[in-house]
Amino acid sequence: MPDEPSAMPLPHEVLDLARAARHVAVFSGAGISAESGVPTFREVQRGLWEQYSAQDLATPEAFENDPALVHTWYRWRAALIQQVSPNPGHRALAQWQRRLAAGGGSLSISTQNVDDLHERAGAEVLAHLHGRITAHHCHECGAPAQITAPHDDGADEPGEPEDPPVCQVCQEGLIRPSVVWFGEPLPMADFENTAEAMRSADLILVVGTSGLVQPAASLPLLGMERGTPLIEINPEPTELSDAMHHRLRGPAGEVLPALVQALEVD
């Protein structure tokens, strides 16, 4: 069962769709992580770091120009993520995924978030479309790499810049986080797997995403080819709202537990 009972009313049409769905595709964005306290990219630009823009910290060129600066900032951001926990929305999706799997169905999760909160809630994730901040690889040869987890000291700002490790495979390249930086393509396998999930689902949920970051944001619309119902869960209207069949205005941490709770009492 979800963590806490919820009295949030949900439209009967939405409940009927959820009860009938055997293959659900979920597309999640920054909103669901923000409810856990994960700061957005802009929110962590504070103190001395306010002078840096996204282009200073999240492009291949930025890493090549100042690898210590970029490495240290991402390590600090990873440490911030370690301090937070999955919220009831994450846990409700994990519960729904297990429920469908037990009956021979499926619930796939494709996320734009680089954190691991879905996994820590107990869910299996089909795709991390923008990479994972806890994974690393060589910037030159692409070999995957393991580095020690960042120290969780709760610091308000990153420490002094430190050089990233050197790749142990090619002995030349520097180790970088396996996130998708501006100007880089999305991971093809994750993109294709998400596209297939959207095309084969009989219900699609778009949770906590603004719909601004392309090309990932357009993936849920692939369900429109088959007339698949699309449900948006977001406190505010988004770029995708007009394409949705149903729009549930509220936090994922409240709407999703209410939805899964309704399924559990059937």
By annotation, the residues acting in catalysis are 130
Burial class (CB in 10 A: 0-12, 13-18, 19+), 263: middle
Q: Which DSSP category does 48 fall into? A: G
Question: Is 4 part of any known ligand binding site?
Answer: no
Q: Do the annotations mark residue 120 as ligand-binding?
A: no
209 is in an annotated binding site: yes
| CB distance 17 to 229 below 8 Å | yes
> Could you say which DSSP state residue 242 is in?
G
- Axis crossing angle, helix 252-264 with helix 12-20, rounded to the nearest 10: 60
235 is annotated as contributing to ligand binding: yes
How many angstroms separate the CA atoms of 246 and 250, rounded? 13
Sheet holding 23-28, edge to edge: 127-128, 106-111, 23-28, 203-207, 230-233, 246-248
The single residue listed with the structure tokens 């996130």 is: 179
What DSSP element (H or E) covers 230? strand 230-233
**Any binding-site annotation on 183?**
no
Which residues sit opposite 230 in a β-bridge?
204
Residue 38 in marked binding region:
no
Residue 236 marked ligand-binding: yes
The annotation status of 234 as a binding-site residue, yes or no, is yes
Q: Does 67 belong to an annotated binding site?
A: no
Q: Is 193 annotated as a binding residue?
A: no
Strands 230-233 and 144-145: unpaired
Please indicate if the annotation marks 55 as binding a ligand.
Answer: no
Q: Which residues are annotated as a binding site for NAD(+)?
A: 112-115, 208-210, 234-236, 252
- Binding site for Zn(2+), by residue number, is 138, 141, 167, 170
Binding site residue list for substrate: 74, 77
Binding-site members are: 74, 77, 112-115, 138, 141, 167, 170, 208-210, 234-236, 252
